[in-house]
Each structure stands twice: as C-alpha cells, then as structure tokens.
A and B are shown apart, each in its own frame.
Chain A
C-alpha cells in the first residue's frame, strides 16, 4: 500500500509539473523566478511548503515529545518573525523589479557595489543549506523506515526524495517547483488536520487531551518543563529562526517572485494562516506520541508512531506519510533551485566576464544534481535530533542578516563590512557547532549574529562606502515605499 501511494503521488506531481510549463524557459529570470509573475495563491502555498518541511512534521513533533510545550513557543516565535516580510517584502520586491535581481546575494553584491560580496554570501549559503537539505532527506528516511518497520529502508527513502527533488526542479524550474509545492501544501494541510481531529477525538477530546497531559506529564505543559527548554536554549533556538524569512535565500528569493504587491500580501497572509494550523498540528502529534508511547528511544519517531497507531486509519496514515515525503521534497527542490541560481549567477557569473544568461542557466542546470548528491551523502550520516541540526544551519545563515538590513537602511555599510562579517562569523558558527561549544551557555547562532553585527558596523565605518550606489538605491526604495505607505495613511485617516 505504501508503494502504491508513493507511485500515485509521483504520477500526479509529474502531471502538475508538466502542466506548469509555460513558454520557453531560456532566461535566468524565467527559470528561477517564474518571470516575476507568480500569483498570490500559488506563492502562498509554495512559500509554506518550502518553509514547512519534513522538519516540521517529524522534527517539531519530536521536539515536543522531548521538551514539551517549549517546542510550540519556539515555532511561534519563528512564526512571529515572518512579520519581517511585511517590512522587507515590499523592499525586496521593489529592488528586484527595478534592478532585475535574480538572487538575494546578487542584490547584496550590487547594493554594496562589489561582486565578491555576492560570491561570498552565495558560497556561505551553500555551506549551510546543503546540510539543511540533508536534514530533510534524513527526515524522510526516518519516517519511511519507522512507519513501515524497515520494509522501506532509510536509504531507499532518501534516494526517492533526492531523485524527486531533482526531477521537479528540472521540469520547469521554479514553475514546476511552485505548483508541485502548492499541491503538496494543500493536500497536507487537509489530511494532517483530519489526523489531528481523529487523534484528539480518540484521546477523549480537547479537554481530556490536556487533562491527561497535565496529570501524567505536567512538566510538558510549561517551560523550562523537564529542563530541555532552559531560557538560554530557547533563545539559542529561536533567534536564528526569527530571522529565517530574511536569512534563508530559498525563502527570501520568493520575495522577488509575486506578480504584484497584492500577490505578495496574499503570500504573507496565506502563509500565516497555513503556518498557524501546521504548527498546532505538529505539536498535537508530538503530545499524542508522549501520551500513547511515553518510552520511545528516539524522539524523531514520535510522528511515525502516531501515524501508525490505532487511532489513525491505515490508509490515512499512509497518505499523510507520503505527504510528509512530499513535504521534504518540496523544501529540497526549492533549496536546490535557489542554490543553483546562486552558484550560476553569483559565483560563476561573476567569475567569468562573458557569462551570458544562456551559459549561466546551463551551469545552473548542471549544478542542481551535484548539490542534490552532496545532500544525499550528508544524509547518510544519521543525525540524531533533526531539529537541532536544522537549527545549526539557520544559525549559520543568520550572519548575513546585518548586511541585508544594512542594504536597505544604512548608507555607510560597505562591501568589506559584509565580507568580513559573513566570513568571520560564519566560520565561528561552524567551529562552535563542530566543537559542540556553547561559551557562557549561549548557542552558536547568538554568537554569530552578535559578532556579525559588530563586525559589519566596525569594518564598514573603517572603509569607504559606495556612496553613489547606496544613495541611489536607498532613495529609490524610500520614495517607492512612501507611495505605498502614503496611500495607506491617507486611507487610514479617511
């Protein structure tokens, strides 16, 4: 039954992916940004699918199982951080449209008037996002092997998702990715919610569900609870995720794609509603596992155990499981596409003077499977707690945030400031993660963001800013934003 469901999922997705093809995909803008013509609804669903991945449904449920309600708080703080899109979304969008940026690092390179900036930021993004993709793949591996009692092995699960991610990126670039994402998101939100309703019902209803928790594991309903979510741990987990919408290029690149500001707004609001439901779903799964199976060895098995429990009809369990596989794929294919655009445009395109659009696109298409295979190899290193590793990648991407904020708001920012802050703080994060060090109890992300902010400011002040470009860029954004906001304030008064 599992195999059949997987086959049906693949066939439907392939049909959707082929249908999404439109026109010739010969330019970078067309292949990677869908010609900046994505409608709001698809943008919203695809943004959600890209953000919420196997991490969410396997890792967050596992984190709830392990640490209790603090996992909910962690995800809600991330969720609140998506409000950054309300402030930076229109700015990215305006800049992308005016200057023709394909990737967020291209924007930084142009704004700080130095192509090395684009290349360095891109390389660091790859360094952190490949492990992140690996984490998604591992999530699928756990899920399939956990639910089928190893009938489908960890490695088979990982191979299936790697191949699908490559195929969905290839068929029509971002268009096939966005449409298959949307299908997955829509499908998942419905089936996952049904599962939650069944489980809560099976465990005696909402009131009883919480009463059981309060009676059996009261510590799971508070922080720091059993001690897992100490305040410093909570801070260390949440800060990198708060800035996720800016720091992660596979989502910030999405800010270039909507066809209008109205579509951008639909994307934001759609995501918020979707995200809120999805968060509650994952938490309930985690809590249900801790009620039904209090003695699991590995917290990441919480979701598979719940889905294969008596409370969930087998066919629904299988469908949702395949949905989670699709969730991992929908995240990885977006990351593949983004990283490929970074490498083709910002690394290769900046190294070679004569790199035409066509040539860049060619390189991009070669890069996609290469990255996928790297992630595949990474996934073979069985990660213990998916969420924690995933956050480590976020911590690393966080170091570009000062440069991104500075691009829009600080004329004195310089290329030297960006490069120093990204490289030095990025390396510090990597060292802390590898050595498993938490100086003064603070996690790597916190050190990363603090250090990169200080370095960005100090080095910028000591070097010469690209005044002309900075002036032109910031003034343009400011005047355009005034138009948007001007309209707003008039309407508010009226």
Chain B
C-alpha cells in the first residue's frame, strides 16, 4: 500500500474529523527468542466525517478492536498516520494525547469490567473532567447531573456504586463518562453485545438520539450485522486486518461487491420467519479463517474465495471504486464478477 487512499473523498459534504491513513499494527507473541509476528491491522485507511456513524463489521480476530484502540490512542500504530481535525497525532506525544483525549472517547464492550467497582458513579463520570482539570467543585457536580440526565439516568444516582446498576444502566454510565469532555468522536467497541436483547435496543436508541442531539461522530464496531445496518450511515467490512469493502450502508448490504461481504451477509440469519431456510442457500466458506500470524499472500481472502485466481495469490488488491458505483470502495480483483452474481 503506497498510495494512501482517501475514502469517500468524492462526496465530501461534511468535514473530516478523524482520519486514519494506512494504519498498521503488528504484535509479537510467543517466545522472546523466536517471536511470531501477528499482523493485526495491515494498512487500514478510514475517514470519519462530522456527525456520521461509521459501522465496522468483521469476524473475531479481524482487527476491529485493535483499530479502535489505535484510533483513541490506546495503542500506538507501527505505521501509517492518524489525524484529528487535520493535526497529526500519530506520534503519541503528550500534546497529541491531550488533543486526542479531548476529542475522541471510547465506549467499551463490557459494562461489568469497564467501571471501577470502588468508585461512585459521580466520581466515575467526573474522572475525565478531573483528569483534564476541567471545571471545579459545584460546576463539576452540575455537569455530572446533566450527563446522567442526558443518558436517561436519574441525577440523584451519583453516590451509588456500579454494582447497584443493571448491565444496561452501566453501559449508560460508560456512555456518560465518554461524553463528559464533549468529544467530537465516540469509538464504540461492541457496545451492546454484552447486553440482553431487550436492553440492547435501549442503548442503540440512546446512541442514535445522542448523535442527533450532540452531532457527535460515532465509529460503531460490532459483529452483529443487523445492529450495524440499523445504526450506521456507512459500513466498513474488515477481513484479517484489512478493509474488504466500505461504502454506504444500503449499497453494501443490498449489493455487496466483495465475495467476503457476500458470504458474511448470506450467513446471517434473518429475523423474519418467511425467510427461513436462508442459511441453507448461503455461500459456504471453506476452511477456517486463516491466522493473522501467518496471513496468506496476495489477497488475504484468497484461500477461502470461490472466485480466486492466480492474481489473487500474488497481488494485494487495492481499494478501488467500481465503475458507476455510488462511492463504494472494494478491495477485490473480482468485484465485478461478484457483483454480477449475487448470493441469496
């Protein structure tokens, strides 16, 4: 990947808030003497525009969470660059981190482990304010009450502890904490997957509502495709550390152009009894997902792809726009062929 791709630049209606270019992250695992390198994220470029929701989907191990951690500055990229409001914050210097923390906040997956059990809810939500020396005393308490109200909890709950709340309420507390510094961007890493079905809907609605009211951009990471379809304006599909396809939600879901997207969508059970038997008609992927410790050469999807040819085994497909294709980008040598033969 030498030419950094500007995703969706053709339709630049709102300003780009967060921009990742060719981000890479490799982990060393195993013995210190003979370490194995796991390529978790390999050249991911993304743009998050003001006020939009970008969904990121993919199976476990595809690098979604590593990407999220790099975007909030919890993980330092090995290569590529990260720009927040035009400022390069890749290096992770103190002032970069300060800037990023004010503007980009994270909502974690597990509301049971992401809140300190020994802190009161008031202290948890006020912590970002305290850490950045924002506001003081009474003003801070006022802000906490305001935030609790914003996420639909009673402002009188500040002196309670996390264990006194249910999973859904804890996730609301996590969201209130993320909003404390009025960030421009929320990175939500599987924010509803640990919650009960009836509670998931509450949190999804809350995120949608907050976005409308505050105009915050959201990067929504999930493995649940129906949730992403519901909430996201654009979707990026990841496979083994790379973006396979990115585009408007409707375009990607209705006319997937990457073979992997097609297989993934066809394996998702529909919540409509009339559609029963859908799974039997799905595109079956042969083999297991390959390990990121030893990724295949060329297109990383080639060993499981039914359209794979020699070129797929040698050349890495770049993200490209299809002729006449509504700003959607796809990284496949055979996207035209895939598009012409939809699955299910």
A is bound by B = no
